[in-house]
Structure 1
Amino acid sequence: MSLAMNAEELESFLAREFPQVVDDFRVESLSAAALTMRMAIREAHLRPGGTVSGPSMFALADVAIYLAVLSRIGPVALAVTTNCSIDFMRKPAAGCDLLAEARLLKLGRQLAVGDVLIFSEGQPEPVARAGMTYAIPPAR
C-alpha cells in the first residue's frame, strides 16, 4: 500500500494540530511497513529513580501509531485511540532518547490495529511493547 503522507507532512500535521507536544517527537523513518519515531527525553519525562515515566512511554507509543495510521489514510485529526495494552519490560535509560518502532497489523475502514516496540537509543532490547487500536471516523 502506498503512503498518503510522508514524514515531513506528518510532522507538519503534528505541529499544527498538537503544538503542545511537537517538540517531543520526530519521525526518524517511514515506509509502508513501519514508522520509527524518536522521543527527545527531557527532565519532564523522568520519574523518581532515574527512569522514563510510564505516561511518557505511552505518549510515544500513542503518537507513533497515530502517525503510522495517518501516513496511510491522510490527515484525519479525529482518529482516536480506543484501546491500549502496554507492557513495561525493562528500565529505560534516563540519559538517552527513546525510539518507537510502530507497525500496523490491520488497517480497516473503521479500525486500525498496531504494535509498537520502544527502545532506549543504543540498546538492543525493548523497554516496552504496546498494542494499540485506533478508531477511524467515517469519511465525510
Structure 2
Amino acid sequence: MPVITVEEMNVFLNEHFPQGEKFGVLTGMGDAWAEMRLPVDDEHLRPGGTVSGPSMMALADVCMYAALLGQIGLVPLAVTTNLNINFMNKPESGRDLVARCNLMKVGKRLAVGEVWIRSEGCEEIVAHTTLTYSIPVER
C-alpha cells in the first residue's frame, strides 16, 4: 500500500492541478481518508452570501481524489465517474469549509467514498457527497 504524505500529495496536486487552490487545501490524510479545507472568499459565494454548490462539489471531488491516491499511489488518470451531493444546511457565514472523505471500497477498477462537508467549528453537516472513481487498469 502506498504511503504518501500530505506534503507529497500537495506537491502532486499543485503540479497536476494548478487551479487546485480554488478547490481547497489538503490538511490531513491517512489509511482510506483525507481532509481538506476550503478558505472561503468572494469567488466561492453565490447571491445571498452562501457558498456555491459548484465550490462544494469541487471540494468534495478533490478530497475523494486525495483519499484514493493515498491508497493506490499517484495515479493522475483516476477520474470521477459519479458524484451525488445533498446540500443539507447553509454554510455559516465567514467560516471556511472543512471536508472529510472516507473511502468505502477500493476495488481493481472502481472506488467509492463519502465526503461530509461542515463549516469550520460547527457540527452541522452542510453537504453529504457520495462519489465513484474509475481507476485506470495500468498504474
**TM-score when normalising by structure 2:** 0.95
Q: Kindly provide the CA deviation profile for residues 91-137 of structure 1, in whole angstroms up to 9, marking residues without a partner as x.
A: 01231110001000000111000000000001111100000000001
Identify the range of structure 1 (89-98 vs 115-124) with the bigger mean alpha-carbon deviation: 89-98
Give unmatched runs, 5+ long, in structure 2: none
The equivalent residue for 2:10 is 11
The equivalent residue for 2:127 is 128
Could you tell me which amino acid in structure 1 is paired with residue 11 of structure 2?
A: S
Q: Distance in 2 between matches of 1:40 and 1:3?
A: 29
CA shift, 1:28, in A, is: 1.7
Evaluate the alpha carbon distance shift between residue 33 and residue 75 of structure 1 in structure 2; reply closer, same or farther with a 3 A threshold: closer
Identity between Structure 1 and Structure 2 (%): 50
Moved over 4 A (4+): none
Asked whether the equivalents of residues 24 and 41 of structure 1 are also in contact (C-alpha less than 8 Å), the reply is: no
Identify the range of structure 1 (60-69 vs 30-39) with the bigger mean alpha-carbon deviation: 30-39
Query: Secondary structure of the equivalent of 1:41?
Result: coil
CA shift, 1:3, in A, is: 4.2
CA shift, 1:33, in A, is: 3.8
Asked whether the equivalents of residues 4 and 70 of structure 1 are also in contact (C-alpha less than 8 Å), the reply is: no
The equivalent residue for 2:78 is 79
The equivalent residue for 2:48 is 49
Asked whether the equivalents of residues 92 and 120 of structure 1 are also in contact (C-alpha less than 8 Å), the reply is: yes
Q: Kindly provide the CA deviation profile for residues 10-39 of structure 1, in whole angstroms up to 9, marking residues without a partner as x.
A: 100000000012354222221204211111
Could you tell me which amino acid in structure 1 is paired with residue 27 of structure 2?
A: E
The equivalent residue for 1:22 is 21
Evaluate the alpha carbon distance shift between residue 88 and residue 23 of structure 1 in structure 2; reply closer, same or farther with a 3 A threshold: closer
Query: Secondary structure of the equivalent of 2:125?
Result: coil
**TM-score when normalising by structure 1:** 0.94
Q: Distance in 2 between matches of 1:58 and 1:25?
A: 11
Asked whether the equivalents of residues 32 and 68 of structure 2 are also in contact (C-alpha less than 8 Å), the reply is: no
Root mean square deviation, CA, Å:
1.3
